[in-house]
A = this chain, B = another copy of it.
Amino acid sequence: MKVFARQGYYQSTVAQIAGEAGVADGTIYLYFKNKDDILVQFFSFKTKQVFERFREEVDRAETAIGKLRNLVRIHLEEFQRDRNMAIVYQTETHQISRMAEDQIREMSKLYLDIISEIVERGQVEGAIRRDLYLGIVKRLIIGSVDEVINTWLHAGGQYDLVSMAEPLVELFIRGIGTQPPEANPADGTGEPIRS
């Protein structure tokens, strides 16, 4: 992962990976079917294990909002803890035509399911709006968290990533608008207002 994180999958050679691991080139092939399998196994184990942590943390909270908060917090925590994983995950996940795509899709689905579950529970609880298009809510949450992580990575991991969790969740819930009861910014026309 260190090697993939530093140079990207295609720019990394099996020899470099073996060197970093302190074994001979051929030894890699005793544990991985081929170069691609290194990435596949990474997604299978390392990140799967992380996702299990996500599940645990979500389950520890009772309310939907609490679960959401926990999800975002643990997400940032785990990605901050293992920066190489974070880089490889963010980078290789966005390759559209990856061979490991099935692995990724499956894992991504797990994440989406957690969010669906949280949102639905929140709606039952009355804490989350009922007039939401679930698909978009998922994008909002996943996309925002992803981007917060990406920014942190590009900045070289200088600051504390986890501290972003709280304000981010708050933004999900309240939105950026001032919400006076008398004026609904979504007036249904969808037209930008011109003078």
Interface residues of A (CB under 8 A from B): 5-11, 60-63, 65-67, 69-70, 87, 90-91, 94-98, 105, 119, 122, 126-129, 132-133, 135-137, 139-140, 142-148, 150-151, 153-154, 164, 166-168, 170-179, 185-186, 190-195
* Contact A66 to B194, CB < 8 A, known contacts A172-B175, A173-B176: yes
Name A139's contact: one of B91, B147, B191 (CB within 8 Å).
Answer: B147
With A60-B192, A142-B143 known, 5 other A-B pairs at CB within 8 A are: A10-B11, A94-B94, A139-B151, A144-B144, A175-B177
Residue of B nearest to A172 (CB): B176
A interface secondary structure, majority: helix
Q: Is the CB of B140 within 8 A of A168?
A: yes
Name A143's contact: one of B60, B69, B144, B174 (CB within 8 Å).
Answer: B144
Q: Is the CB of A69 within 8 A of B168?
A: no
Q: Is the CB of A90 within 8 A of B94?
A: yes
Q: Is the CB of A171 within 8 A of B136?
A: yes
Name A190's contact: one of B69, B144, B177 (CB within 8 Å).
Answer: B69
Q: Is the CB of B142 within 8 A of A147?
A: yes
Q: Is the CB of A193 within 8 A of B61?
A: yes
Name A144's contact: one of B62, B140, B153, B195 (CB within 8 Å).
Answer: B140
| Least distance between A110 CB and chain B CB atoms (Å) | 16
How far is A164 from B95 in the complex, measured between Cα atoms in Å? 23
How far is A150 from B139 in the complex, measured between Cα atoms in Å? 9
* Contact A63 to B193, CB < 8 A, known contacts A148-B143, A171-B137: yes
